[in-house]
Amino acid sequence: VQLAESGGGLAQYGGPLRLSCTASDTLFSLFTMGWYRQAPGQVRELVAKMNSAGHAVYAESVEGRFTISRDRSKKTIYLQMDSLKPEDTAVYYCNYRSGHINEWGQGTQVTVSS
């Protein structure tokens, strides 16, 4: 499975940005796709993820501001980010997990100006 991310860039404080991640294939019926982020000097952390049943989990820091969604026909997940804050600045990585498979996208930079 290969993951292609898009949609990063510069956003204003309080503004929106949407990330997309398309999988080359979804090999198994049971899988989880999600978004993680890593700020400079920080560990990579979960932002949001969604399993094949559509159940979503969010980090407390983004709950109510970010929304993860998917288009199964396009093998694509989205991360709608609203009310962005400077502390949301990081490289955002798409992730696909199923069984022993754990794949990462190349990452897309999100920078929020204050």
The tokens of 32 are what? Answer: 């989880």
pLDDT at 27 over 70: no
Q: What is the dihedral of CA 51, 8, 109, 21, to 10 degrees?
A: 30
Residue recorded with tokens 């204003």:
12
Predicted confidence at residue 30, as pLDDT, reads 81
pLDDT in tens, 31-57: 899 999 999 999 999 999 999 899 999
DSSP type of residue 32: E
Q: Report the mean per-residue pLDDT for the chain.
A: 94
pLDDT class of 112 with cuts at 50, 70, 90: very high
